[in-house]
Structure 1
């Protein structure tokens, strides 16, 4: 393994638990002098002589003054998170104590860690690849069952193994094409064009499948933006409050109460939904309300899913269809028609809509029909995502999706070149681009700017 650059071979220290008072805080050090720095301030067992993966109780002292009673955890290289010597100090969660510990160790030669520097060192030391490192940040940010599940699968290397397998299958043919270039004057072909064509089509299919999974992955990671639209007094704010199970939006019988968008999130069966209550859609001379209507029309076009809420007592099927068409939604945007106020609608009004399979009837103020609505929301998301990917691997990272798209385009170019009988030099160049794009995901090909961009998004101490 190559030696780390000087900036990453010194000893770093940081608070690895959230700042603020608490029962316990954890101060972490990593680097060549991590153990010796702590040992010099620790009163208890002689830390220099202790084996890896052991815990030790004692005190941390600064020139004889006791800063705190602590538990010290030792992890010796290479059997640690960073593959360097790592020491974790569990102290009382006082801001003052933490600051005194950080001052002590920086005064004696350690450096305050930058954001994500512990994980960056783990990547540079070969503990895991770049995709797995990014999954660490996703795991920390996971706030639903599915986002946790996907981040854990990627952190354990599932996505990386699939990518490395794809890349390995291309490398052999790329090497043969490069060999042909070395013997260009002799007009020989080492790479079987028929076999290469079959392999490229298979790999491209797999890359496209991973790329398609990003649509679902983005939903899992960032939530399903679900806009509640409809005419004034249809009950949009009441529905938002019912879905969130809290009084988030003001409810009034006065039409046009909601002038701006109100958003909040809730998790349904492990999938995070971001519900957006919007201004009622109608023609109005009120300047402020007109702005709200315009913003609603813009927001529905950006939604992953639209709930069009209508008043069962005032709307006919023909009117409902006309109102939805006014939204001018992209063809791919799913729309759920939701009829509200079934508790006050007449039997005739209910019968008209009960025969429509694409409409669910609710009474938002009483909670009637909300379970069916939640079920339809989940079914819509799963049908639009999980059933289309055909893979347990789900791409959640925009950087990964862009690299996969670049790889797919390069593979398209190679396939087109093979069909057209393009020369070996151009085929090899396109294939190198595909390999580079796949390599960027796992970090086999990376740059300092890329690493800085990724790890500065981490929290300090991780």
Structure 2
């Protein structure tokens, strides 16, 4: 493979900028610029020079193939964090025949060299994109190989079941213990139960990864935009006494006690007076119906029955103007009741997040469903067909980890990474 390089730290001024080089001959390239680097995994303070011209004093270290992130020879050069230094080093590396890495190419090489499986790659991508504690924890489990370890345990069940089935085929005319068929189906039942647990928990895991949506709905002038602005502590939505001010959906992303949540400020629900307002109301209804939670906001504290779903919250607005003792009430002017509302939202959403599985990508879900379906309704199959069903299930687990059939997903997965990772 080509020798590649990229800045592994965010571009711009900073204390340190790290440039990473990967590929056969990376150590030789570094030693041309920095002098001898005798031992791997040791940091050396060196002058980076182009002939007699010194570029910078930097820490330089190298990792030998098989013991690096990519599985190839890797060099890291820790420079002072000035963009001009990084640019100049890039010019020197290109002069030696290196090329700038593409987005995600370091991680792609780690996958191709067997340092990571595809589920770990997806977990790493999620970790780099994590904005909340719940996202970080879920991504860390995936990137640390927890799903891969589970898949290996599931494969062990299939290997045992497959061996028993194959023995019944190969030695059909000889004495085979009567308990063998029963054990096969016990193993397959265990396998399916494990996968069913992951499949059922996919929806919750996917919401943790992508975030929950909470729609604030209600009649015009109910205080929806004011509530959004109060939660944001800035003017996100335009506020006016004129009914129908909000025409399009305004989104506010927030970290709600570790959960990623997007609040949707929707158009006031009423009989529209013009086509533009009608389109805004229709869009508001569609997003509200698809949301994970709806806040029914009005001065009277009444729900919109046409959009009500179990678990929704009814909230009385403008509590500073009305003496409302019942239920949830908030004031966007004083902030009264806001903490209680956020606590209630968290309680509802955390309940929806409970039982989250490891699998949080549609690709992973499809592979698990294929594996589960392969051994569903196999109790009456002849041994030869049962053996083939077990092999099909095992193959689907290989798809899950990207050991086979990964080509269709590589571009999609790796282009979501930044350059330098």
**TM-score range normalised by the length of the shorter chain:** over 0.9
Paired position in structure 1 for 2:249: 261
Deviations 1:168-193 (A, max 9, x none): 11122123334555567x59878822
- 1:58-97 alignment runs, 5 A limit: 58-97=46-85
Corresponding residue pairs, total? 420
Change (3 A) 1:366 1:189: farther
- 1:273-288 alignment runs, 5 A limit: 273-288=261-276
- 1:192-203 alignment runs, 5 A limit: 192-203=180-191
Deviations 1:326-376 (A, max 9, x none): 23x6x6x64211111222224xxx35xx2xxxx422223221111111111
Change (3 A) 1:234 1:189: farther
d(CA) in 1 for partners of 2:232, 2:358: 28
The residue matched to 1:308 in structure 2 has which SS?
strand
Paired position in structure 1 for 2:314: 337
User: Which moved further from structure 2: 224-233 or 401-410?
Assistant: 401-410
Change (3 A) 1:114 1:181: farther
Checking the alignment, whether the CA contact within 8 Å between 1:51 and 1:76 is kept in structure 2 is no
Paired position in structure 1 for 2:365: 401
1:360 aligns with 2:328: yes
Checking the alignment, whether the CA contact within 8 Å between 1:230 and 1:236 is kept in structure 2 is yes
1:410 aligns with 2:378: no
Checking the alignment, whether the CA contact within 8 Å between 1:37 and 1:108 is kept in structure 2 is yes
- 1:11-410 alignment runs, 5 A limit: 11-43=3-35, 46-47=36-37, 50-181=38-169, 186=173, 192-312=180-300, 320-321=302-303, 323-324=304-305, 326-327=306-307, 334-346=311-323, 350=324, 354=326, 359-386=327-354, 388-389=355-356, 394-410=358-374
Where does the alignment leave 5 or more consecutive residues of structure 1 unmatched? 1-6
Checking the alignment, whether the CA contact within 8 Å between 1:180 and 1:188 is kept in structure 2 is no
Checking the alignment, whether the CA contact within 8 Å between 2:320 and 2:333 is kept in structure 1 is no
User: Which moved further from structure 2: 371-380 or 68-77?
Assistant: 68-77
The residue matched to 2:235 in structure 1 has which SS?
coil
Change (3 A) 1:241 1:306: same
Deviations 1:147-198 (A, max 9, x none): 11111122222222122111211122123334555567x5987882222222
The residue matched to 1:219 in structure 2 has which SS?
helix
d(CA) in 2 for partners of 1:232, 1:198: 59
Checking the alignment, whether the CA contact within 8 Å between 1:72 and 1:87 is kept in structure 2 is yes
Paired position in structure 1 for 2:390: 431
d(CA) in 2 for partners of 1:297, 1:101: 55
User: Which moved further from structure 2: 101-110 or 143-152?
Assistant: 101-110
Cα deviation, residue 274, structure 1: 0.5
Cα deviation, residue 428, structure 1: 2.6
The residue matched to 1:228 in structure 2 has which SS?
strand
d(CA) in 2 for partners of 1:296, 1:14: 44
The residue matched to 1:54 in structure 2 has which SS?
coil
Checking the alignment, whether the CA contact within 8 Å between 2:164 and 2:180 is kept in structure 1 is no
Cα deviation, residue 258, structure 1: 0.8
Checking the alignment, whether the CA contact within 8 Å between 2:157 and 2:188 is kept in structure 1 is no
Checking the alignment, whether the CA contact within 8 Å between 2:299 and 2:318 is kept in structure 1 is yes
Q: Which of the numbers 398, 401, 406 marks the counterpart of 1:442?
A: 401
d(CA) in 2 for partners of 1:157, 1:16: 23
RMSD of aligned residue pairs (Cα, Å) = 2.3
d(CA) in 2 for partners of 1:379, 1:187: 61
The residue matched to 1:225 in structure 2 has which SS?
strand
In the superposition, the TM-score normalised over structure 1's length comes to 0.84
d(CA) in 1 for partners of 2:175, 2:335: 74
Where does the alignment leave 5 or more consecutive residues of structure 2 unmatched? none
Would you tell me which structure has more helix in proportion to its own residues?
Answer: 1
d(CA) in 2 for partners of 1:104, 1:187: 72
